[in-house]
Chain A
Amino acid sequence: MAKLAIHADRGASEGSRFPAHPIDGLAGTSFKHQHITSILEDQAAKRGFFEVHAENYMGEGGPPHAALARIRQDYPVSLHGVRMSIGGPQPLDKTHLGRFAGLIERYEPALVSEHLAWSTHDTTYYNDLLPLPYTEATLRRVADHIDEVQETIKRPILLENPSTYLLFKESTMSETAFIRELVRRTGCGLLLDVNNVFVSATNHGFSALDYLADYPLEHVGEIHLAGHTEQEDDEGDLLLIDSHDGPVADAVWTLFDIVIGRCGPLPTLIEWDSAIPDWPVLKAEAIAAQAILDRHSGALLRGRSYAHR
């Protein structure tokens, strides 16, 4: 950290404070502070991008901002909101939304995303991505929340499909129908987490390919890949946990290849959030994703790009 300078020139902006780094067709990784020295020394790593969890940069200053500002100089950055609670029924936390908008203004991220989930109820924050029923009422409420976010930050967000372990008895529509209707009503884009599709498909006994066939792939602006772990449900059947603590599973790589074959080379992120390995191990996962993207580089992007330029 000592080699990082504090940027004292914040405040009124005169145009862009960071170089415009295109993110199209690139594979990236989660940005972990323990990797920053390796990343900056790794000249071969110049091709790629980094994604950060927005909440980790909502403090006022210090090493987190110094590290992110340094990385943002050299790379495109994707800002991934984790705790907006868009999928909850209660009004969005205006203070939190303001902090999110402030980070977008400060770091000019190439991509901005959030989750179809909730984590706050009343005043308690549960620190997890909790599931919601898929009904006409929740659809209206979530669409209102996405509208509010997008009006505040003045750009579309990419909404991420959840990994889920159970369902709500009151649900009246499928997750893909719910997501498709959110896109139609709000104009948001989508972050397709392929591992989440695989985890949910296994946990609920549906086909991941059927899910993808029913999913509005033309609105996807980013892909997530991650590792999962195995447990058992009450009946002793396989229950996959979206743990982000290991390499991407072979079945998820196969699904990813199919998605990129259909969509073209979308920005793709390797998420690794616990049991974090050394930089070369994480980078190797991104190189594997980049090889698949490059193999499909001739394919035209099927939809629109949601990347900020």
Chain B
Amino acid sequence: MRIAESISDAADGLDYPTGFVPALLDPGRATPALVAGPRGKAANKRFNVYRNNVTVSLIDALAAAFPATMRITGETFFRAMARFHVRETPPTSPLLFEYGRDFPNFIERYEYAQSMPWLADVARVERAWLDAYHAADAPVLPPNALTLFPVEALGDAVLEAHPSTRLVCSAYPAVTIFSANRESGPVGRIEARQPESALVTRPALDVEVRRLSPGADAFLGSLLSAESLGSAAATARARCPEFDLATAIVVMLEAGAFTAIR
């Protein structure tokens, strides 16, 4: 709000949120002086209802958005971690499914999560999953689309990403860990040690998460920046000599990662 408006609101008795909100996310602060209980009653426990509603509902929102992350850490650990994040970075949008974009970075520097260096990447896959879930609907480029495109023009062709497509690069086996913990079944010992990047798509109504082969993440990253197929393939080969162009294209088209070719 503009400063002049704020000053005028204060004069009009319209600055009640300014007195109300500081204690909402800070249990160390006293109950605001502007509120009371009825007939001279105290308002501490009464104000705590709002404190509790705000903090607990936001922790619940993170728990709902990051179920695999919570399964890995356990609920008590997760909710304590989420509480720190909620107080440090409350949401700025009334759309709760937008919340938690900063949560993976918070996990990365959270003192008690340092023994799980891959945890932040699992959270990044889950955040991408939620983005894909709410993304705009769009037709998917069919798997045979490239065979129908003039061969001589393929190198210069640009693929348009489907609105749901997300790429999460990881130095850890993030997709294996995500997949093992996203469902409620038993989790065996995870043997994977290789870095895994995730391709997240929603070709129709179900979100799909795939492991990308080495170099395919760099390839997809270039395509998502609207680089041509030829240029993206060159980048991937330079980055990763064993990059397999044909396999990468098949996997991405099967995933429904693109909506058009031009």
Contact with B along A57-72 (1 / 0, CB 8 A): 0111111111000000
Which B residues are in CB contact (< 8 Å) with A56?
A: 97
Q: What's the nearest-Cβ distance from chain A to residue B8, in Å?
A: 10
The verdict on A234 contacting B95 (CB below 8 Å), with A128-B57, A241-B49 known, is no
Which B residues are in CB contact (< 8 Å) with A254?
A: none
Is B35 within 8 A of A166, CB to CB? yes
Is A62 within 8 A of B13, CB to CB? no
Is B16 within 8 A of A233, CB to CB? no
Most buried by A among B17, B91, B135, B206: B17
CB within 8 Å of A: which of B1-31? 1, 9, 12-18, 20-21, 24
Which A residues are in CB contact (< 8 Å) with B92?
A: 123-125
Q: Whole-angstrom distance between the alpha carbons of A204 and B43 in the complex?
A: 11
Which B residues are in CB contact (< 8 Å) with A231?
A: 45, 49
Q: Whole-angstrom distance between the alpha carbons of A6 and B61 in the complex?
A: 26
Which A residues are in CB contact (< 8 Å) with B18?
A: 121
Q: What's the nearest-Cβ distance from chain A to residue B42, in Å?
A: 4
Give A240's nearest chain B residue, CB to CB. Answer: B49
Which B residues are in CB contact (< 8 Å) with A1?
A: 205-206
Q: How many positions in chain A have a CB within 8 Å of any CB in the partner chain?
A: 60
Give A64's nearest chain B residue, CB to CB. Answer: B134
Is B49 within 8 A of A165, CB to CB? yes
- Asked if A16 is at the interface (CB within 8 A of a chain B CB), the reply is no
Is B133 within 8 A of A141, CB to CB? no
Is B38 within 8 A of A141, CB to CB? no
Which listed residue (B16, B42, B94) contacts A234, Cβ 8 A?
B42
Is B14 within 8 A of A137, CB to CB? yes
Most buried by A among B34, B57, B137: B137
Q: Whole-angstrom distance between the alpha carbons of A81 and B202 in the complex?
A: 27
Q: What's the nearest-Cβ distance from chain A to residue B202, in Å?
A: 6
Is B137 within 8 A of A126, CB to CB? no
Is B1 within 8 A of A59, CB to CB? no
Which A residues are in CB contact (< 8 Å) with B202?
A: 62
Is A61 within 8 A of B204, CB to CB? no
Give B1's nearest chain A residue, CB to CB. Answer: A90
Is B46 within 8 A of A166, CB to CB? yes
- Asked if B44 is at the interface (CB within 8 A of a chain A CB), the reply is yes
Give B14's nearest chain A residue, CB to CB. Answer: A89
Which listed residue (B14, B34, B54, B135) contacts A141, Cβ 8 A?
B14
Which listed residue (A61, A138, A234) contacts B44, Cβ 8 A?
A234
Q: A121-B20, A127-B96 are in contact. List 13 more A-B contacts (CB 8 A).
A: A2-B206, A62-B137, A66-B205, A89-B16, A126-B54, A138-B13, A166-B43, A166-B47, A167-B36, A167-B38, A168-B36, A205-B39, A233-B37
Interchain Cβ contacts under 8 Å between A and B, 19 examples: A61-B136, A62-B133, A63-B133, A88-B17, A89-B9, A118-B17, A121-B17, A124-B90, A126-B90, A127-B58, A127-B96, A133-B13, A135-B13, A141-B14, A168-B34, A234-B43, A234-B46, A237-B41, A241-B49
The 9 closest A-B pairs by CB, nearest first: A59-B134, A83-B94, A61-B137, A60-B136, A234-B42, A121-B17, A89-B14, A166-B46, A128-B53
Interface residues of B (CB under 8 A from A): 1, 9, 12-18, 20-21, 24, 34-39, 41-47, 49-50, 53-54, 57-58, 61, 90-97, 132-139, 163-164, 202, 204-206
Interface residues of A (CB under 8 A from B): 1-2, 4, 6, 8, 55-56, 58-66, 83-85, 88-91, 93, 96, 118-128, 130, 132-133, 135, 137-138, 141, 165-170, 203-205, 231-235, 237, 239, 241
